Every structure is written in C-alpha cells, then in structure tokens.
Amino acid sequence: MERRKTSPSVVPARDALVARLRARFADIPAEHVRRCVDDLWCCCTHLGVRPDERTIERLAASRLTGVQRGARPPFTARPPSMTGPGGARPALRPPLRAPRPPGGRAPASRPAASGRARAGAGTPIGM
C-alpha cells in the first residue's frame, strides 16, 4: 500500500478554502491549516455528510481559533510588583506544617481496632 506524498487537498474548492483560512490565521503554519481542512473534509465524508465548503470553513475557523487562543504566550519579564527591593525576589512564606521525614507515617489519631470491630463498624445494624 502506497502512502500519498501530497495532501488530499487537491480539490479547487479546498484549495480556495485553505487560502482564505491561511490569510485569516497567518500565525498558524500553513500545513496545520491544510491538515485541519483535510481532517474536517474527511470527517464529514466518513459521517455520510456531504462536505459543504461554508460548513467546513466555519468548523475549521472554530478549531483554528482554539489553536490560536491556546498557544503559549510569549515570554515576558516579571512585573516590578513581583520583585522585592533592589530587584531581588521576595522571600517565600514558610510551609504551613512541618514536612514529614521520608518514609515516615502520619501519627495514628486513634488506636487500631481489632479485625472483628472494624468489620462490624460498616454494617447498618452493627453485626
């Protein structure tokens, strides 16, 4: 079985649609836009829905908007309010409770009950 080397977007309607979406979403790589359109086109075909250009464009624009909004924001320096005097970072607050030693268990709050008492505690009539 031979794999396609080119994208299945060879239909002129798809090419025009990809060109419009590439102009609208210029910061997203062109191949991502093309794959999004191809994926939606194939999904419609798979579901038995005739792929309408307007519907595909609306769905692709929605997906690409999500990709655009979900992108990692560019790095910015810390705002001045996050630094202490002289540009140093402020000291962190101490932990709320003392850390336990590694492998240590939490102290038991009540003595361990016998197996018979433990088993009966969960039944509604205490048997």
pLDDT digits (tens, 9 = 90+) for 8-28: 544 677 889 999 999 999 999
Per the structure, the complete domain to which residue 57 belongs is given by 12-67
The Cα 21–Cα 14 span in angstroms is 10
Does some domain include residue 25?
yes
Q: pTM for this one?
A: 0.49
Mean pLDDT of the chain: 75
Pick 91 or 43 by higher pLDDT.
Answer: 43
Task: Let me know if residue 32 belongs to a domain.
Answer: yes
In a domain, 23, yes or no: yes
| Contact indicator for 84, 90 with CB cutoff of 8 Å | yes
Examine the pLDDT at 5 and tell me if it is beyond 60. Answer: no
Cβ(36)–Cβ(58) under 8 Å? no
- 92 is a domain residue: no
Round the CA-based radius of gyration of the chain to a whole number and report it.
30
CA distances from 50 to 8, 56, 60, 77 (A): 16, 10, 16, 50
Q: Is residue 125 part of a domain?
A: no
Domain total of the chain? 1
Compare 25 and 109 and report the one with higher pLDDT. Answer: 25
Q: Is residue 116 part of a domain?
A: no
Q: Considering the domain boundaries, does residue 122 fall inside one?
A: no
pLDDT average, residue stretch 54-70: 92
